[in-house]
């Protein structure tokens, strides 16, 4: 290297060590998740959940894909007296969602399947739809870790003006501390529409080895001294509790779910 100026040698050596220690600096950063997600909740007609699942398994999921919708996952609650089906679709954006659903509803194959499946009455009594976007701290490993056990959908309702404080608490502490107790974070969302809780709701999925393991892990988490301290500090900043209620729904993926 005697013909290379001393300054160039220094830069080359620095670049070599940077690559060795930190990897290729030219690799692109992880892209932000800009997809439009839709959580759909179907309440089946009494005694007809299996018929509804059969329609999704044999027809609906493929027809969704044919019209540009991505099947993210399908679940039924462990305790399911209301015979509900939860599922998540994703789209490039909201406009694409509207176009895809219009094409799906006009699909003659779907119209035939729907009529044939409902010859003895409607399979669904209620449909709920919530549009969601990922938070900036969401790990987005939605379909990773197949066979991950039980899924838990958690829904937080915030006190006025405290969603930002709740998100900061999750971003800075909660998500990492969940992992310490064996809880796997899959995805974190907030609604996109004001009338669906854009300013006061957080939705997220965890997975656990079992429901029993989940409850034991949360008991440990809630008694963690550092968590207690972080929670108290965040509530001082927020002027009280950051949430008014928390919903928890334990679910298993269906046999045709992409997320397992």
pLDDT tens for 118-176 read: 999 999 999 999 999 999 999 988 876 666 789 999 999 999 999 999 999 999 999 99
Q: How far is CA 240 from the centre of its chain?
A: 27
Separation between Cα atoms, residue 53 and residue 31, nearest integer Å = 34
Q: What is the pLDDT of residue 250?
A: 98
User: For residue 58, which of 128, 123, 117 has the smallest C-alpha distance?
Assistant: 117
pLDDT tens for 25-78 read: 333 334 689 999 999 999 999 999 999 999 999 999 999 999 999 999 999 999
Is the whole model's pTM more than 0.85, yes or no?
yes
User: CATH number for the 36-132 domain, one of 2.40.33.20, 2.40.40.20, 3.30.2310.20, 3.30.70.100?
Assistant: 3.30.70.100
134-253, what's its fold?
Alpha-Beta Plaits (3.30.70)
The contacts of residue 74 (CB under 8 Å, 6+ apart) are 56, 61, 85, 86, 87, 253, 254, 256, 257, 258, 259
pLDDT tens for 185-219 read: 999 999 999 999 999 999 999 999 999 999 999 99
Q: What is the pLDDT of residue 146?
A: 64
Domain ranges (residues) in the chain: 36-132, 134-253
User: For residue 144, which of 179, 185, 87, 84 has the smallest C-alpha distance?
Assistant: 185
E strand intervals along 45-171: 70-77, 84-91, 124-134, 150-158
If one compares 104 and 31, the residue with the highest pLDDT of the two is 104
Task: Say if residue 23's pLDDT is above 60.
Answer: no
36-132 and 134-253, same CATH topology: yes
SS3 state of residue 223: helix
SS3 state of residue 35: coil
Task: Say if residue 2's pLDDT is above 80.
Answer: no
How many other CB atoms are found less than 10 A from the CB of residue 107? 15
Task: Say if residue 244's pLDDT is above 60.
Answer: yes
Task: Report the DSSP pairing between strands 36-44 and 124-134.
Answer: antiparallel
């Amino acid at each position: 290297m005697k013909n290379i100026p001393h300054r160039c040698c220094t830069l080359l050596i620095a670049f070599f060590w940077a690559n060795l220690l930190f990897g290729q600096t030219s690799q692109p950063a992880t892209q932000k998740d800009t997809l439009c997600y839709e959580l759909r909740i179907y309440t089946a007609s009494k005694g007809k959940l299996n018929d509804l699942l059969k329609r999704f398994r044999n027809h609906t999921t493929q027809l969704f894909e044919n019209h540009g919708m991505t099947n993210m996952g399908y679940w039924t609650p462990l305790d399911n007296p209301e015979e509900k089906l939860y599922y998540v679709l994703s789209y490039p954006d909201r406009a694409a969602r509207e176009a895809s659903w219009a094409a799906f509803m006009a699909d003659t194959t779907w119209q035939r399947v729907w009529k044939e499946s409902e010859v003895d009455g409607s399979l669904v009594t209620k449909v709920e739809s919530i549009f969601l976007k990922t938070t900036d701290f969401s790990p987005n490993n939605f379909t990773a870790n197949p066979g991950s056990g039980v899924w838990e959908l958690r829904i937080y309702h915030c006190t006025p003006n405290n969603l930002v404080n709740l998100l900061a608490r999750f971003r800075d502490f909660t998500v990492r501390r969940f992992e310490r107790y064996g809880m796997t974070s899959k995805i974190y969302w907030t609604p996109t529409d004001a009338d669906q809780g854009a300013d006061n709701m957080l939705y997220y999925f965890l997975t656990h080895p079992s429901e029993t393991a989940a409850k034991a892990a949360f008991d440990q988490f809630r008694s963690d001294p550092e968590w207690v301290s972080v929670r108290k500090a965040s509530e001082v900043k927020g002027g009280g509790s950051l949430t008014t209620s928390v919903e928890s729904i334990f679910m298993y993926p269906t046999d045709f779910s992409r997320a397992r």
